[in-house]
Structure 1
Amino acid sequence: MRWFQDAGGVINNGAGAGSGRYLSFEEREEIMLRRDRGESRRSIAVALGREPSTIGRELARNSTVRVGYRAGRADEKARDRRRRPKPVKLADCPRLRRVVQGKLKLKWSPRQIALWLPRRFPDDESMRVSHETIYQSLFVQSRGGLRKELTACLRTGRALRKPRVRSRQQEKRGRIPAMINIRERPAEAADRAVPGHWEGDLIIGEDGGSAIGTLVERSTRYCMLVHLPDGRDAEAVRDALIATITTLPAHLTKSLTWDQGVEMTRHADFTIATGIDVYFCDPHSPWQRGSNENTNGLLRQYFPKGTDLSVHTRQHLDDVAAELNGRPRETLNMRTPAEALNQLLSAPLAA
């Protein structure tokens, strides 16, 4: 049993003989001989009945500058790579493990951590790990490295992977007077090149009795949370949005895109008070507010579904927004939304 476990729980682990999937030792000898004769990768592939990309990968993985490609060494290295289980980097590197655990506690996603590490430690190859390795260390405890309780820091909060099956929930929609369709929104908003175009929505609490407003700037992904202590009717949402959006400079308030929820019935009053036009998405088209939808998913880590959202104070909402805006984003080249917005705010001063 110990030998079986050392082989990764697979009989004849690492040999790969006769499967046809892996190159055999005889094929590697043929590659070596033909390569020494100066044949191209494509001609070798034709002779062996393999894809040229297969030969290219084999040569790239197993060739050295000093001796070139040698069949015996290549076959040995291939067997070593196929052995299971492989060493777990997070279990073998305490420093890397501490850094990853610290970022998980700040609710960074594994992908954000994996992309941030090369920026933070550009000259240290040991401080590299893929997001899949982080997930494996969390979900499969036999992979080791990270404590199981850190799964609570993931956006989903799940301790196991499972298929995502979502049922379409039909929401009751009311007619909103004088709606302006998203197709009439300025073209500059669509390409995200010009800042100041926002997307908005509500995240709803238990039994629809409470809500929090969310605003996301399209070019920087900067998030602002709208406190709604007086409920989520049209008047309360209008007043709260006006109070929130007017804290921004004029050049960062050009438009607002919302879905067709009845909470925006008083959108004309909002436009008169702020000078910001409101554009409405098509029904059941959340992709038209993609940045906001993504942010709302992240916020559910802080405000789970089925909970009372009225218990959260304005200060708590500001703290959550600050933490979210402090996470690096791949779409911003691993800058944070706060950094991106600060650049926009300082640009007129620099000019």
Structure 2
Amino acid sequence: MTQDKFNSTRHYTQLTAEDRGVIEGLHHTKGFSIRKIAARLHRAPSTISRELNRGKTRQLRSNYLSYEAYYADTAQILHEQRCQHDYCQLHLKGRWHFFFNWLTAKVKKAKFRLQSIDGYCHLFKRLYPAHACPSTPTVYRYLDRGLLPLDNTILPEKLRRHIKHAGRHRDRRNKRLAGTSIEQRPQAVNERKTFGDWEGDLVKGKRVVNEPALLTLTERKSRYELIYKLPDYHAQTCLDVLQRVINSKGAKWFHSITFDNGSEFALLDRVKGTQIYYCHPYTPSERGSNENANGLIRELIPKGISLHHFSKTYIHEAQKVLNGRLRKSLGYRSAADVFQQFSQPRRTVQTPVATF
């Protein structure tokens, strides 16, 4: 085989795991030089030389003296790691270059994080169908490996997740419910088949009863969010504000609302125009849509900060951002679009944030 053939990239192929096994066996056999190994594998001597240099690892003898040796398994692992890095760099600079630049600009320039990573991927596909777009898990992997000028701080939900431990569940179902139990809620509501069924809760800044709070209402079918600022979170205040919301928007919007069993909601069974249901004590998962929405609100309004510092305009903008996000559960439509479809198909829905 001529040297010209070795130098031709047209005939070059990567060393396989079997080739590396042969290299290890011959390299450890007396009398086999690099050129003889290359001739046996029909490779260029430079290829074998580079492979031996790149695949060597430091070993420790029984007398604690170190030495370098070539082992096929280790060399194969190192090769795969290099290929993975080269693959990532290739797509950063080539195939997905436009998408990653677009994503970086969107995230860094936005006052709020307008979409989830999944939402950004599908929005990009809508806006630029001719450009290649990676999958959502691929973007997460790039973030984890530090290959983008972004990091996981843009994913607060991911950062605050805790590993669940077995054997720490407590049975607290004996606490008295404030009103009608969620167990009596119709199956059609549980399966999200009907429109106008809501979940509600309070988002608090400082946990002082006379501090302002946010009453958040999430429509179960569309995931549409309404946010109202309360001057405090006394039970009577929650009752008065919720009644004003229902009166102002119309009972046709509110077939039912499900709250937790907190003391601030103890008077809500007196509300007129809708049916109030109460979750089991200490079971926020029974209001999963609202809990998820409250977690997104925490990106914009962190815990421990008084809500006196957040204006009506800011809260309205936050509500608009949440309702404009593309959601996988809605087929990558926004909550605002789905809500408009079911509530007022022929008119634009306007839901200003009220402060009472």
2:259 matched residue in structure 1: 258
**What SS does structure 1 have at the residue aligned with 2:222?**
coil
Instruction: Give the aligned length.
Output: 264
CA pair 337-116 structure 1, distance change in 2 beyond 3 A: same
Seen in structure 2, the aligned counterparts of structure 1 residues 348 and 119 have a Cα distance that, compared at 3 Å, is closer
Counterpart in 1 of 2:98?
Answer: 95
Q: For 1:231-250, what aligned pairs fall within 5 Å after superposition? A: 231-250=232-251
SS in 1 for 2:257: strand
Query: Residue by residue, what CA displacement relative to the aligned partner does 1:170-216 show, whole Å, maximum 9, x if unpaired?
Result: 99x98565x10011112221121210000001122234454211110
C-alpha separation between the residues in 1 aligned to 2:238 and 2:169? 23
Name the structure 1 match of 2:327: 329
Shift of 1:253: 1.1
The residue number in structure 2 matching 1:300 is 298
Equivalent runs, 1:279-294 vs 2, <5 Å = 279-294=277-292
Instruction: State how far apart, in whole Å, the 2-side matches of 1:342 and 1:216 are.
Output: 14
The answer for the alignment partner of 1:120 in structure 2 is 127
- Residue 229 of structure 2: which of 203, 227, 230 is its match? 227
1:277 to partner: Cα distance: 1.1
1:134 to 139, 153, 162: 139
Secondary structure at the aligned position of 1:214 is classed as strand
Say if 1:296 and 1:91 are closer, same or farther in 2 by CA, change over 3 A: farther
Query: Equivalents in 1 of 2:19, 2:303: separation in Å?
Result: 53
Instruction: From the superposition, tell whether residues 267 and 110 of structure 1 become closer, same or farther in structure 2 (CA, over 3 Å).
Output: same
| Aligned-pair CA distance for 1:166 | 6.7
1:310 paired to 2:315: no
Kept in 2, the 8 Å contact 1:115–1:330? The answer is no
Residue type of the partner of 1:195?
F
Alpha-carbon contact 1:181-1:280 (below 8 Å) kept? yes
Letter in 2 for 1:129: P
Backbone CA RMSD of aligned residues:
3.4
Check the 8 A contact 1:14/1:83 in 2, yes or no. Answer: no
Partner SS for 2:199? strand
**Counterpart secondary structure, 1:219:** coil
Deviation digits for residues 2-58 of structure 1 (CA, Å, limit 9, x no counterpart): xxxxxxxxxxx9744499xxxxxxxxxxxxxxxxxxxxxxxxxxxxxxxxxxxxxxx
Give the CA deviation at 1:340: 0.6
Is the CA contact 1:97–1:146 (under 8 Å) kept in the aligned structure 2?
A: no
The CA deviation at 1:227 is: 0.6
Q: CA deviation at 1:343?
A: 1.1
Q: Deviations over 1:198-240 (max 9, x none)?
A: 00011222344542111100000000112112x1010111122
- Does the aligned pair in 2 maintain the 1:203–1:214 contact within 8 Å? yes
Map 1:153-232 to 2 at 5 A.
153-156=154-157, 158=159, 164-165=162-163, 177=178, 179-209=179-209, 210=211, 211-229=213-231, 231-232=232-233
Which stretches in structure 2 are left out of the alignment for 5+ residues? 1-13, 21-78, 348-356
Contact 2:177-2:281 within 8 A present in 1 as well: no
Amino acid at match of 2:193: A
Any conservation in 1 of the 2:207–2:304 contact (CA below 8 Å)? yes
TM-score by length of 1: 0.65
Structure 1 gap segments, 5+ residues each: 1-12, 20-78
Decide which moves more: 233-242 or 211-220.
233-242
Structure 1 vs Structure 2: percent identity of aligned residues? 27
Distance in 2 of aligned mates of 1:80 and 1:225: 51
Aligned equivalents of 1:237, 1:346: Cα separation in 2: 27
User: Structure 1 residues 90 and 223 mapped into 2: Cα distance closer, same or farther (>3 Å)?
Assistant: farther
